[in-house]
Amino acid sequence: MNLKTKINELKKNGITVLPNILSKKECENYILIFEKIIKKLSKSKKNVFSTCQFIDNPFRHEKKLVKLIYRKQLDKIFSNLLDKDYVLIDSVAVNRKLRPDLKEGKRCVSGGNWHVDSRYLNNKRLEKGFGYVAITMFNDWTNDNSATLFVPKSHNRRDRPNRNGNYPCKPLLGKAGSIAIFDTGLWHKAGEASKSNRWGVFNYYGPWFMKPYFDFPKMMGHKFARQISKPLRKLLHYNSIPPINELEIAKKLIKNN
């Protein structure tokens, strides 16, 4: 796999797919973990839906899932496109499967309309290349199991998509074990839920100074930080905690120059 080619595809098309990152057996084992978490959450009636099962911060529920936020191939790509200090902004495991054994939850299921994962200032989207989403596929993503839809090269636009618009689009397809990467400015939406599994972990990455969706250091604790690798500590913002005030030495704010 030529990573330079993948980087050029991302810049030009806003999306690329890295095949064969995980083995079939690894995918099957991860799915078992996701299903175990869903079973536990269903008893507490949190974040579990009959049309879409999702797990915010999956590594909070099972610490070994933290491995899914770092890959050497991704590190080389994001170090090139962002910088070496890029961080994780959000992580969620999603399965868009119709599950009659589950009830609808209280939280609204998002992603079913056209949207971007970037941000807008004064009604103008931030420039392309500000952030990227990496989706690890644990099942084959096909036309029949709710594959994500996207509008090719829409990352070049800076206006807002009509949430219910009719756009020429393509399905995001790939074999289990693949990782798809797309620019957060790419217009996309989730496919309709089906009767088949379509597990994926969506990891959102951005520059080191971007605020994450959750306070990972407080969530996981400093004992956890000592148990993981340096790249993972960096991704989870342990290197970018600002000092309380000007009297505190800024040891917690580490930036490579």
Q: What confidence tens digit (pLDDT) does each residue in 14-29 have?
A: 999 999 999 999 999 9
Residue 45: C-alpha distances to residues 39, 41, 105, 229 (Å): 10, 6, 7, 33
What pTM, to 2 d.p., does this model score? 0.93
CA 206 to chain CA mean position, Å? 11
What is the distance between the terminal CA atoms of the chain, rounded to a whole angstrom? Answer: 29
Helix (H) or strand (E) holding 56: strand 53-56
User: DSSP secondary structure string, 191-211?
Assistant: PPPBSS--EEEEEEEE-TTSP
Specify whether the CB–CB gap between 146 and 198 falls below 8 A: yes
pLDDT at 50: 83
* 131-184 pLDDT, tens digit each: 999 999 999 999 999 889 999 999 999 999 999 999 999 999 999 999 999 999
Residues 6+ apart with CB under 8 A from 177: 19, 20, 21, 22, 23, 24, 26, 27, 137, 138
- Rounded Cα distance, 87 and 243, in Å: 18
pLDDT at 193: 87
Closest by CA position to 99, among listed 146, 141, 66, 59: 146
Low-confidence ranges of the chain (pLDDT < 70): 45-48, 105-110, 249-257
